Chain A
Amino acid sequence: MKVALFVPCYIDQFYPQVGIATLQLLEKLGVQAHFPAQQTCCGQPLANSGCESDALPIYKHFVETFSDYDYVVAPSGSCVYHVRKHFDKLDQTADVQHVRGAAYDLIDFISTVLKVDALPGAFPHKVGLHLSCHGQRGLHQANESEMTPVRDGQLSRLLRSLDGIELTQLNRNDECCGFGGTFCVSEAGISARMGQDRVADHVRNGTQVLTGSDMSCLMHLEGIVRRAKLPIKVMHAAEILNGVLVNA
């Protein structure tokens, strides 16, 4: 199994520890992932801003970078969703189709491909899970509250398997955090308010560690937590899972 690690641009630049945790976690699970150095970005910021045609060279660069791998794994559901859903704008060559199918969010890869649902290790903290919309509604990693009353998902299953962990019960389980890519700048007021409301739900219900599988939502929420100087630690799920696992 040839697995490539895709480290989205903002993780590469601002959260290298999330990329490192992802790589190490995969190693501990028996997967030797390779980081192709020429990678850049999936092109989502441009496309979501209505500049899809300007993003096409980025898409092509992405496909060229990753077409030789069986799987492309990223610690960010929204980038993966973008590759799967919006690379339909490219000519659908065999390479393009392959890369779209091979792209996986880290947690989805662990659950669906590696078929791991439980991990040994302890994390005795009260953990609040932020379900990212692209992961949950886009990649169906958890059931949407609009669809059924079941509120389970891949990441909550993995986290629950850890010893001593307590998952926060939120008043609004799966409301969007308000990041939305360039939305956070073009609609800064609403975006901030949504993030503040999201954080308030975690504060109200006792979250000590706020986590999720999409670093973009977490970057936005972390910015709000730090501005308000709240005693909440924000960690990508890869950091938690990698931290509790000893080397295999």
Chain B
Amino acid sequence: MSHAIRADKFLLDADRTTWHDETLWFVREKRDRAVYAVPEFQELRELASGIKNHTLSRLDLYLQEFEAAAKANGVHVHWAADAAEHNAIILDITRKAGATRIVKSKSMLTEECHLNPFLIQHGIEVVDTDLGERIIQFRDEPPSHIVLPAIHLKKEDVGDTFHTHLGTDKGENDPQRLTEAARQHLRAKFLAGEVAISGVNFAIAETGAVVVCTNEGNADLGVNLARVHIAAMGIEKIIPRLSDLGVFTRLLARSATGQPVTTYTSHFAKPAPGKEMHIVIVDNGRTQQLGRPDFRASLKCIRCGACMNTCPVYRRSGGHSYDFTVPGPIGAILSPNIDMKKHSSLPFASTLCGSCTDVCPVKIDIHTQLYKWRQVLGEANEIPASKKWGMKFMGRVLASTRVYGLGGQFARKALRLLPHGLTHAPSMNAWAVARELPEAPKQSFREWYAKQPAPAAPSKTSA
């Protein structure tokens, strides 16, 4: 199913679409205010982009440096080539710890690897502790945004969900009361958690420590209460030095939610006495993307979600319309790397307006990569045949002055003579579903120009 079809479903509820658009635009405006207040913001972007480019050019060396430093800290380091290995490693650690209850702090990587259903299938309870994640976990839905996973839901939806799963009063929509209900419920889960899984925002090669940024403090609660901490990170999360971190923490929260920094920026370097710490380093298609020169820069992404908040298509089609762990503009350049056929419509789910590129805190040329994916998909015959042949035909017409002139005359004449009901039949003309066609003039510009007693063309040899 293409993005357009899924988007049309979302658009059917016009009021919800308006609300979704306005809510995300509110976040985008908050981001603007926070960014305008930092005079050196563009220098920070440039610096962050440079650090990431440098790191990606020596990724193997920095990963080895990180592994050595982490091991020296007493951390167990595991390497996973793909999602299956990632899941198997986590199950193995959990079993060896004799645990059956896991608390998780929002990690898009475990979502990408479909860890939850895998663990549940093996008899282990997994609780997502981020409020938004918990809401969608109750509803058995994937996140629709990487920072605001339940942004597609209104408070009434959350009220219904909590009524069903947490026993809150029917019709209770007060955010304060709903949050309190979730808080009480999650406290019990935190206290019972034997293993805590966290994501990783940044992994520092120099120190072997991982940094997790949250607003709810749920990573800290989970990790400090459980016996075992498992941090799951993609290979692209590496930054070289601790002194690089400030560049990214200043960019991350401002770009994501318009906050100066996240409420909690937690460093995890070594296990507490008597406890265990594991880091699972995952590839899952990332080295393949690293090997595509046109798309390598997508690995610079720090997952702030700013491109989603600014994208006029995302805001009106919702995250689920992308059907990929990371939706929005960045998701549309990451997803074809994983499955070109399945995600072939995503690079076309954009007007190439370029707002995503301008908003990106690490300067990923997102809209340029969307354009380049289109060419790759076209060459691989992964675009609709009707479009491909239509474009081939158009190419013939537009490469010839004569054919183009005749075709234009014919089209204008047809448009003038045919009844409006036919030229604007929605079944035949997608344009006319919501728009009037331009009025066809009697003569084209070139026909007008040819009749002008215009001054002679300047001689091609004279300057």
Interface residues in chain A, defined as those with a beta carbon under 8 Å from any beta carbon in chain B: 2, 7, 9-17, 19-20, 23, 32, 34-41, 43, 45-55, 57-58, 60-61, 68, 86, 133-134, 137-138, 144-149, 172, 175-176, 178-197, 219-220, 222-224, 226-227
**In angstroms, how far is the closest chain A Cβ from the Cβ of B370?**
10
Given the complex, which residues of A lie within 8 Å of B97, measured CB to CB?
Answer: none
Given the complex, which residues of A lie within 8 Å of B7, measured CB to CB?
Answer: 187, 189-190
**Are B351's CB and A40's CB within 8 A?**
no
**Are A176's CB and B441's CB within 8 A?**
no
**Are A58's CB and B395's CB within 8 A?**
yes
**Are A172's CB and B4's CB within 8 A?**
no
**Are A37's CB and B353's CB within 8 A?**
no
Q: Specify which of B21, B387, B433 is in contact with A197 (CB 8 Å cutoff).
A: B21
Contact flag A9-B441 (CB < 8 Å), given A148-B36, A190-B11, A194-B316: no
**Are A172's CB and B25's CB within 8 A?**
yes
The complex places the Cα of A52 from the Cα of B375 at a distance, in Å, of 6
Q: Specify which of A34, A55, A146 is in contact with B359 (CB 8 Å cutoff).
A: A146
**In angstroms, how far is the closest chain B Cβ from the Cβ of A43?**
7
19 contacts between A and B (CB under 8 A): A7-B445, A9-B404, A13-B408, A16-B441, A23-B449, A40-B399, A43-B395, A50-B375, A51-B395, A55-B395, A57-B399, A61-B400, A138-B354, A180-B351, A183-B351, A191-B351, A193-B17, A222-B436, A223-B438
- The stretch from B61-69, B190-198, B275-283, B453-461 touching chain A is B453-461
- Smallest Cβ-Cβ distance to A57: which chain B residue: B399
- Smallest Cβ-Cβ distance to B433: which chain A residue: A188
* Interface range for B: 35 or more
CB neighbors of A among B407-463 (8 A): 408, 411-412, 430-431, 433-441, 443-450, 455, 457-458, 460, 463
**Are A40's CB and B401's CB within 8 A?**
yes
- The stretch from B88-96, B162-170, B200-208, B376-384 touching chain A is B376-384
Interface residues in chain B, defined as those with a beta carbon under 8 Å from any beta carbon in chain A: 3-4, 7-8, 11, 17, 21, 25, 32, 36, 42, 310, 312-313, 316-317, 347-355, 357-359, 371, 374-375, 377-379, 383, 387-388, 391-392, 394-395, 398-401, 404, 408, 411-412, 430-431, 433-441, 443-450, 455, 457-458, 460, 463
The complex places the Cα of A5 from the Cα of B19 at a distance, in Å, of 44
Given the complex, which residues of A lie within 8 Å of B391, measured CB to CB?
Answer: 45-46, 49, 51, 54
Which of B4, B11, B391, B436 has its CB near the most chain A CB atoms (within 10 A)? B391
Contact flag A35-B355 (CB < 8 Å), given A193-B11, A195-B434: no
The complex places the Cα of A195 from the Cα of B436 at a distance, in Å, of 12
**Are A11's CB and B11's CB within 8 A?**
no
The complex places the Cα of A3 from the Cα of B439 at a distance, in Å, of 30
Contact flag A137-B440 (CB < 8 Å), given A7-B445, A197-B21: no
Starting from the known contacts A12-B445, A176-B312, 9 additional A-B residue pairs (CB-CB under 8 Å) come to A14-B438, A14-B439, A14-B440, A15-B438, A50-B348, A58-B395, A61-B401, A175-B355, A181-B351
Given the complex, which residues of B lie within 8 Å of A2, measured CB to CB?
Answer: 458, 463
Given the complex, which residues of A lie within 8 Å of B400, measured CB to CB?
Answer: 40, 61
**In angstroms, how far is the closest chain B Cβ from the Cβ of A52?**
5
- Smallest Cβ-Cβ distance to B9: which chain A residue: A189
